[in-house]
Structures are given as structure tokens and as C-alpha cells.
A and B are shown apart, each in its own frame.
Chain A
Amino acid sequence: MPGKYLNIEEVKTKLELICLQYGDICECELIQLPYATSGEKNTDIIKEINNNDYYEITGIDNDDYYVNSGVKAGVKDCWAIRIKAGFSTPRHGILMIGGVHGEEWGSTDILVYFVESMLQAYHDHADLVLGSKTYLAAEVKEVLESLEIFVVPLVNPDGRAFSYSEGLDEWNRDRNLWRKNRTATTTPDYGVDLNRNYDWLFDYKAHMHQDTYNGNRPCELLNGGISDDPKEDNYQGPSAFSEPETRNVEYLLNQYPNIRFFVDVHCATELGLIGYPWFDDDPQNDDFLMDFRNESYNEFRGIRQKGTSWFWCPGCDDCASQLVAPLYREYMAKEDEERYKEIGKEMVSAIQAVRGTVYEVRRGNQLVWYSEVADAIDYAFSRHKTSPESGKVDALVIEWGPYGEWLQDWPECTNKFQPLYEEPPGIDRMTPVILDVSAGLTALCKTALRVPLIRLTPNPLDFGMVVRGGNVQRCVSLTNLSTQHVKILWTKIEPTSPAPVVKIISANAGVMVTPGQSETLLVGFSPVSDVDDIEAQLLVGLQYETESIIQDVRSVKLHGMGDLVSAFYQAMSFRPRHSQDISRLETLCHSEFTLTIDCPQFEALSQGLSLSEFLRKIRVWHVQSLRITEDHRSPMTGSLITSHVMIRIRTLGNKEYKARCRIRFTLQKASGRWYINAADIQVLETEEI
């Protein structure tokens, strides 16, 4: 245990040292991340350097000042370490990041210690002893030989360097409380809150109810979580991934698709917390249409009904009394939420075993008193929903803290972010925290071992044209890449768009898949209502034969074009041919899609109508025949569905028309059935090319 916080240079040196020390017994790779930080350069940093007795300018090149060991001041490289022992392949990856907020010094030290202690135990064939918690040597071996661990201990080197430096920030505060990075945003303001710079509901003024940020509803207080004002500590930046530090995290998630778990280590002040998505609103497990991708809920997201705000209620009389309908809650599959709780519980148990510290597992929007968006873990978990090619990443945040009343327990600490960390005989309040969190991280690794390592192919699965009453069957191959038997608990199809009633043709429950073997799952669609597009997920519940259950759900995206679109084409005598880059109609609900139609007789068919009028005419025809069943609408409020479509019509002689449209459906019940009561199709722009 070092006994002092690592300085910037030490972080890299320590990682290099670890790679050299343990490179003989396992793969230890130091990865230079592709984006160097863009913090302040030159004069400001030179003043800092001059005030620091441990930095020394050693050279100047192209206005970049180099300090000790060739590290550029203000333009720093970021580093990750990749660890993998043994030869088994493939394996799950775990990405751990820390040092995101400049003032939370301990997170970096925790991650470096975690890496070193795991490798040292592995090297020595020794147990990993963390206070009163011991992981056996065999457990350490299994973790390192079964997983690939990626650690970025210092995401934000500029913020940390600034926080280490003497003097005041732009707002006359002691620099040691600096949170953001050091990007020069608008003079004289510096910095972006990196944990508000990810591409998840980034444009919060478009995605959230205005009362969440304009102060009209004091109970919502999204403003406590994010800001578009560069002067604020939680300034989100000009655009998602505007910052090199967040692009580095995105790079790792893209570059290593085996990453199945993601953990972001932060410092809360008083409580130790483990959080899981979502952060924008209360969760629900029933209405899959009510999720962050559905633009129809943009005016409603983030507002809670009186009595449901976990922090302010019960007891608060200040909530606006009227209910804002529909009541939005963020969807998460029940199995996903259960798995998060189970993982969190095991982490809590491991942490408690170290010295008795009790952490709490909370969902994102109950982690702290405010809601937030554009954060790392929501982004990481949302990826499998926004891009079909991304695998699922279970994402958690650890908020370490001293617990209980700070002043009572740690009266000698200067502030709540930087516990005393002195070498003996001084006071060391950081080492116990390092041991706590390392135990939690090890527990996460152990839990990851129990998550089945399987591959489902093909993914996505395209059903092509599906008509009402017809059955289309396809095969999905499930390959067991783990070393233990995997039991299929159940399979089901869950529509992810305003889908038809589908009857699944599948009888796979109870099938045992032996290691290295594949099993074929027969999947069938049988739509029993009119639809114009099908998007669904094949969900497979899995369990290891010899371990306790971790409910897990793997999904295959299913696409199909229903008979409504088919009828639409037939009525118009069109023969559809999708554009080359969009091979299918995307879900009505969540995406913008392009439809290219070869229609040599367009002018004749349209009978002199403008393109805009023509599209409206089509809409009137096809919307009236769409019927929705109870099962596929929101159980709480009824569903609004918004879709964007770019329609391109090519006529004889390669004449081309383009129209960008927005379609908004409103569902209503009549005679015991749900219908599309209104469809507002707005042609946003048309163009004749």
C-alpha cells in the first residue's frame, strides 16, 4: 500500500512496472488510448509546474511543454492496462474506469491497487487478503484465467493535475475541489464534467420534461445533475463525446466487444453505494415501449407522480399537484434488474466482509438526490439497445465513501473527497477504502464468471416478409463457449416495437448445452394482427448447471416486414427495394429509417398530387387498418409512438423525390380493443432531385 496518493506520473510508471513485473506470467498490456487530453497548455500549466516541486520542465516542442519523463503538460496521454492470464478463449471482458472526476483522488489508487494485488496473488499462488475478506488463490486464478480485465485508472489526468496544484480556480475556490477536465470551453471557463458527456439522452432539453431543469418542480432537480452552462461544475460539454477522455472509454467498448461488464469508480461523500441504470427516471419492467429511445415521451420523461420521488417523498407537499400524463418510467427487463440486484448484493457482501462497512445497492435515479443523464454507465448499458451489433454490457457505478457522519468518523479529514492518506505513523483513512472497494471489484469478477459465455447467431435475424396468419420459421444457433453445462431455462419473444401479436414456435426449455457444443433453437413468428414492421427480441434465459442461478437474458434482434407494408406496396403497385445501406425497415418506434422505392410510374400514380399530398394519402389508407391489442400498449397510459422516415422515390429515368416525415400515432381504446386513433404524419421537407 503506497501510503500517499499517486501523482500523475506515478500512475503511468506504476502501470508500466506492473506490466514488466507480471508480463512473464500473463498478458499484461499497457494500452495508450488514442485520444490525448486537450487540457490547458502553455502559460497556465507552466505556472502550475513552477509552483510544484515535483514537476520539472525538461523540454519544449511545438508549444507543448514536457515535464519529467517526457510527459506533456496539459496534453496528457491516457493509459489502460489489459490483463489476461491462461489460454482459455473466448472470455468475458470487464472494463473498470476511475479518476473521472478530478477531485476524487482515491478512485485511481483503488484501481491501481486492485490490479497489482490481484496479479501479485496470482504470481505468488497466494490468497488475496483484503482485511478480513480472503479470496483463495484458486479463486484469483480462476478470475484471471477466465476473464480479460481492462482498467483505466485515470480517465481525467488534467483534472487530477489541476486538483493537485496550488492556488485558486476560475471561481476563487481551492483547486483541490476541481471536478471537470481542463478543456478550455468558453473563456474564462474551463472544463467539462466527463460523466455528463456520454451519448445517452445528452440533449436533455429535448429528451426531458422542461420542468426537470427549469426549476418549476423542485422535486425533480435534474439541474443538480447536468448543465449546459460552461460555468457549472456539471457542464456537459458542447456535444456528446466532445471530450477525448470520454472518447477513450467509447474506444475501449468498441475495440473490445467481449467487454460484458463495466464499472465506473467514483466517490460519494457519506454513503457507500453501488448503482445500476437508469438515472433519468423511475424504472418499470412492463412497458417496453416506454424507453429512452421513444421520442413520443420526450415531453414527459423525468417527471414523477406525487408521492413517488424516492428522496423528496413521502412528506413533501411541494410537488405540483397535477399529474403530468403519461407518467413516464424507464423500461428495464425484469431479468436485467434482478441480475443487477444479485451482482450488487454479492459486491455488498464482499465489501462488508472486509471490515464491516455496509454499502447499499440502488438503481441509478436513487443513487443521489438528483437525476442525471449522459453518464457513463447508462451509456454503456444502453449500447445494446441503440446499436444491434453491440453486445450487452452490464454497467455499474461504485460510489465509495467513509460512511456515517463524516465529521464524527473522520474529523481530521480536510474534505469529503480526499481522505487522509499518510504514511505511518500518520493517519491513513484511504487504505481501508481501497481494501473495501477491491473486495467489491473482485466479487464483481467472480460474479462475471457465472454469467454464461454463449454466442447466439445470427444476430440480428431477418425474417423477411411475414404476413398475417403465416408462419415463418428460422433457426438460431446457441453455442456454449464456457466450460460448464448451460441450461436453457426458457425462450420467449418480446416485441420491441409496436408489433403484432406473435406466436412463438419454440420448444427449447430444459435443453442442456454441453461445453463447446451448439444447440439449434427453432424460432417462429406467426403474426395474428396487421403490422407494417416487426421488431422483436428472442430472449433466452440461461443458467449454469453447477452454480447458483444468475438470471441472464441474451437477445437476438428479429426483423420482419409485415403484411401492412406489403399491402401498401401492392396497393400502390410499388415494388420495394431498400436502399443499400439500410437493409430493412427499422422499428417504427425507435429509429429513423430510409425507404427507397423504385416506382417508374410515380407521376402517373400520384395523379398530379405533390409528394407531400401523396404521402398523406397513403397514410390515411394504411393507418386505419392497424389494430393494436391490449398486450402491446402501455399498461399505464397508452402508448404514443413516433417515427421518422426518409422516403426516397425513384422514377423512370432516375428522377428522384425525397421526403423526410415524422409520424406520430396515438392509441385509444374502443369497443374493448385498441386502435390507432390518430396518426399525425408531418412531412417535414420534400425535395425533388
Chain B
Amino acid sequence: MSMVEIKIVTGKSKEAAKVLKLLQQAHAVVSEVKRAGEDVKQGIVIEAYLTKESIGRLESEGVAVQVIRDLSESKDPRTFVSKENRFRDALEKLRQTRRR
């Protein structure tokens, strides 16, 4: 199930609350909620990560969803995680030095 990043621009707080509830039910990860302008009347922008499958459910509730990007097309962040223990050798070496 691939994930997408979405953006939803809602009206005022009642609508935002409804959208947030729907996102909660869809187990979306809400990454940002911000005012569209200085005034809330100008709308509220909600950004979130969720599965592609969930978009249909949101749209069926009348929520206009903009897909910002498909995360499967981005680099997998796990590639930024060290795959080995980079400090094990140094630790072992230091331990041996201290034993002497």
C-alpha cells in the first residue's frame, strides 16, 4: 500500500474539525495544520500522509484532496539509516587499549 502526501484546504473550524476526524478515522498522519492566511476565514490548510486507498473515502465524504506527491516515488528514508554499527570497531579497539 503506497503512501501519498496530501493537502486539504478547508473552510472554517467546523469543516476543519470534520476533515480532521475523517483523517483520524483513515489513520492518516497529520503533519501540518495552518491558516491559509492571517485570518482563519481565509481557510485552513491540512497536510497529511495516508494510503492511496483512503483518498477515495475522503472524497466520497465531499472532501477535496490534492495529492502533493506519491511517496513511493521519493527516496526511501530508510536508506539514510546506518546499516552497520559504525562504532563497534572503535569501541572494541579502545576497550583493548584500556585492558593493556
Hey, which bits of chain A sit against chain B, CB under 8 A? 2, 4-7, 9-10, 13-14, 16-17, 20-21, 53-54, 68-69, 103, 105, 164, 166, 168, 171-174, 176-177, 179, 215, 218-219, 221, 223-224, 231-233, 269-270, 311-319, 368-369, 407, 412-418, 420-422, 430
A20-B91, A172-B53 known; A314-B33 Cβ under 8 A: no
> Is B68 in the interface zone, CB < 8 Å from A?
yes
- CB of A422 within 8 A of CB of B51, answer no
Report whether B78 and A176 are in contact in the complex, using a CB–CB cutoff of 8 Å.
yes
Are the CB atoms of B87 and A17 closer together than 8 Å? yes
What separation, in Å, do the CA atoms of A414 and B95 have in the docked complex?
A: 39
Contact pick for A173, options B1, B77, B86, CB 8 Å: B1
* Closest 7 pairs between A and B when the two form their complex, measured CB to CB: A218-B17, A315-B39, A171-B27, A418-B77, A218-B13, A414-B74, A315-B41
Task: List residues of chain B with CB within 8 A of the CB of A430.
Answer: 80
Chain B residue with the shortest CB-CB distance to A171: B27
A311 and B87 within 8 A (CB) = no
Question: Which B residues are CB-close (under 8 A) to A319?
Answer: 13
Using Cβ atoms and an 8 Å threshold, which residues of chain B touch A412? 74-75
Q: Mark B11-25, 1 if CB is under 8 A from A, else 0.
A: 011101110110010
Known: A311-B35, A414-B77, A420-B80. A218 touches B14 (CB 8 A): yes
- Residues on B close to A: CB < 8 A? 1, 3, 5, 12-14, 16-18, 20-21, 24, 27, 29-35, 39-42, 47, 49-51, 53, 68, 71, 74-88, 90-91, 94-95, 98
The minimal Cβ–Cβ distance linking A313 to chain B, given in whole angstroms, is: 7
**CB pair A177 B3 closer than 8 Å:** yes
In Å, the complex CA distance between A572 and B90 comes to 77
Contact of A20 among B27, B84, B86, B98 (CB under 8 A): B98
Interface contacts beyond A219-B13, A369-B34, A421-B80: sample of 16 additional A-B pairs, CB < 8 Å, sorted by A: A4-B82, A4-B86, A7-B82, A9-B85, A13-B87, A13-B88, A20-B91, A103-B29, A174-B71, A176-B76, A218-B16, A221-B20, A224-B30, A269-B32, A315-B41, A430-B80
Evaluate contact between A13 and B91: CB separation under 8 angstroms. yes
A69 to B91, CA, bound (A): 12
A166 and B78 form a contact (CB under 8 A): yes
Cβ distance B19 to chain A, nearest Cβ, rounded Å: 10
Contact of A416 among B27, B31, B91, B95 (CB under 8 A): B31
Do the beta carbons of B77 and A176 come within 8 Å of each other?
yes
Q: Tell me which residues across on chain B come within 8 A of A54, comparing CB atoms.
A: 82-85
Report yes or no: A232 in contact with B68, Cβ–Cβ below 8 A. no
Nearest CB in chain A: distance from B82 CB, A = 4
Complex-state Cα separation, A68 to B91, whole angstroms: 15
> Chain A nearest CB: distance from B3 CB in Å?
5
Contact of B77 among A14, A313, A368, A415 (CB under 8 A): A415
Residues of chain B with a CB closer than 8 A to A17's CB: 87, 90-91, 94
Name the CB-closest residue of B to A421: B80
Known contacts A17-B91, A173-B1, A414-B75; A318/B86 CB under 8 A = no
Whether A414 contacts B76 by the Cβ 8 Å rule is yes
| Cα of A417 to Cα of B1 in the assembled complex, Å | 20
Residues of B within 8 A of A176 (CB): 76-78
Contacts of A172 in B (CB 8 A): 1, 27, 51, 53
A-B contact count (CB 8 A): 146
* Contact between B40 and A269, CB atoms less than 8 A apart: no
Complex CA distance for A5 and B18, rounded to whole angstroms: 37
A-B contact pairs, 27 of them (CB 8 A): A2-B86, A7-B82, A17-B87, A17-B90, A20-B94, A21-B94, A54-B83, A68-B85, A105-B77, A172-B27, A173-B27, A173-B50, A174-B3, A176-B78, A218-B14, A223-B21, A224-B30, A270-B34, A311-B40, A312-B13, A313-B40, A368-B33, A412-B75, A415-B49, A416-B31, A420-B77, A420-B80
Pair A415/B85 contact, Cβ less than 8 Å: no
Q: Which of A9, A69, A171, A421 has the most B CB atoms < 10 Å from its CB?
A: A171
Tell me, rounded to whole Å, the shortest Cβ–Cβ distance linking B23 to chain A.
10
Give the secondary structure class of A's interface. loop
Complex Cα–Cα for A172 and B57 (A):
15
Closest Cβ of chain A to B97, distance in Å, is: 9
Q: Which residues of A contact B81 (CB under 8 A)?
A: 4-5, 7, 105, 164
Chain B residue at minimal CB-CB distance from A166 = B78
A53 lies within 8 A of B27 (CB): no
Instruction: Give complex CA distance A233, B30 in Å.
Output: 10
Q: Which of B75, B91, B94 has the most CB of A within 10 A?
A: B91
Question: Which residues from chain A contact B30 at a C-beta distance below 8 Å?
Answer: 224
B82's partner among A2, A166, A174, A314 (CB-CB below 8 A) is A2
Query: For residue A164, which residues in chain B have a CB less than 8 angstroms away from its CB?
Result: 78, 81
The answer on a CB contact under 8 Å between B41 and A316 is yes
Contact B29–A177 (Cβ < 8 Å): yes
Residue contact A53 to B90, C-beta cutoff 8 Å: no
- Nearest chain-B residue to A309 (Cβ)? B13
Closest to A227 in B: B24
A234: nearest residue on chain B (CB-CB)?
B24
Complex contacts, A269 vs chain B, CB 8 Å: 31-32, 47
A414 to B77, CA, bound (A): 6
CB distance from A414 to the nearest CB of B (A): 4
CB < 8 Å: which of A10, A103, A179 contacts B86?
A10
In the bound complex, how far is the Cα of B35 from the Cα of A54, in angstroms?
Answer: 43
B20 touches A422 (CB 8 A): no
Residues of B within 8 A of A417 (CB): 31
Known pairs A173-B1, A269-B31; A13 contacts B75 (CB<8 A): no
Q: Which residues of B contact A16 (CB under 8 A)?
A: 91
Bound: A14/B3 CA distance, A: 33
Closest Cβ neighbor of A178 among chain B residues: B29
Residues of B within 8 A of A174 (CB): 3, 71
Residues on B with C-beta less than 8 A from A369 are: 33-34
Contact of A316 among B1, B13, B68 (CB under 8 A): B13
Contacts of B41 on A, CB cut-off 8 Å?
Answer: 315-317
Are the C-beta atoms of A415 and B87 separated by less than 8 Å?
no
Check A232–B16 contact: CB distance below 8 A: no
CB closest residue in chain A, given B54: A172
Chain B contacts for A312, CB-based, 8 A: 13, 40
Closest beta carbon of chain B to A365's beta carbon, Å: 14
**Chain A residue nearest to B95 in the complex (CB):** A20
A221 → chain B closest CB, angstroms: 6
A221–B74 alpha-carbon span in the complex (Å): 32
Does the CB pair A224–B86 fall under 8 Å? no
Known: A4-B81, A6-B82. A415 touches B71 (CB 8 A): yes
| Residue with the highest number of chain B CB atoms closer than 10 Å, among A5, A6, A172 | A172
Taken together as a complex, chains A and B put the C-alpha atoms of A413 and B79 apart, in Å, by 12
Residue numbers in A under 8 Å from B71 (CB-CB)? 174, 414-415
- Beyond A233-B29, A316-B41, is A4–B14 a contact (Cβ under 8 Å)? no
Report the separation of the CA atoms of residues A407 and B5 in the bound assembly, to the nearest whole angstrom: 11
When chains A and B are docked, how far (Å) is the Cα of A173 from the Cα of B76?
A: 14
Shortest C-beta distance, B98 to chain A (Å), equals 7
Instruction: Write out the residue numbers on chain B whose beta carbons fall within 8 Å of the beta carbon of A20.
Output: 91, 94-95, 98
Q: With a CB–CB cut-off of 8 A, which chain A residues contact B20? A: 221, 223-224
